[in-house]
């Protein structure tokens, strides 16, 4: 298993994700809800270690 480089920059609710090759994706997080540009998935954090995710392909 290799070591991977990941970096996140936060600007309020906007999050920019970088890898060793450069810019990867962006996300928006408002409260418990978030959306990612790469996976185009909605995610809601639930109490405890649970979360709910809806992929664009399943909608």
Query: Is the pTM for the entire model greater than 0.75?
Result: no
Question: How large is the greatest C-alpha to C-alpha distance in the chain, in angstroms?
Answer: 35
| pLDDT tens per residue across all 59 residues of the chain | 578 888 999 999 999 999 988 999 999 999 999 999 988 889 999 998 899 988 876 54
- Side-by-side strand order, sheet with 51-54: 6-11, 14-19, 22-30, 33-36, 41-45, 51-54
pLDDT at 59 (0 to 100): 47
pLDDT at 46 (0 to 100): 93
pLDDT at 15 (0 to 100): 93
pLDDT at 25 (0 to 100): 92
Looking at the chain, list the stretches that DSSP marks H as alpha helix, in order from N- to C-terminal side.
Answer: none
pLDDT at 31 (0 to 100): 93
Which uninterrupted H or E stretch holds 15? strand 14-19
């Amino acid at each position: 298993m290799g070591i991977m480089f990941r970096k996140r920059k936060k600007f309020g609710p906007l999050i920019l994700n970088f890898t060793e090759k450069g810019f990867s994706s962006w996300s928006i997080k408002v409260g418990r809800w978030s959306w990612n540009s790469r996976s185009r998935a909605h995610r809601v954090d639930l109490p405890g270690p649970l979360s709910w995710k809806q992929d664009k392909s399943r909608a």
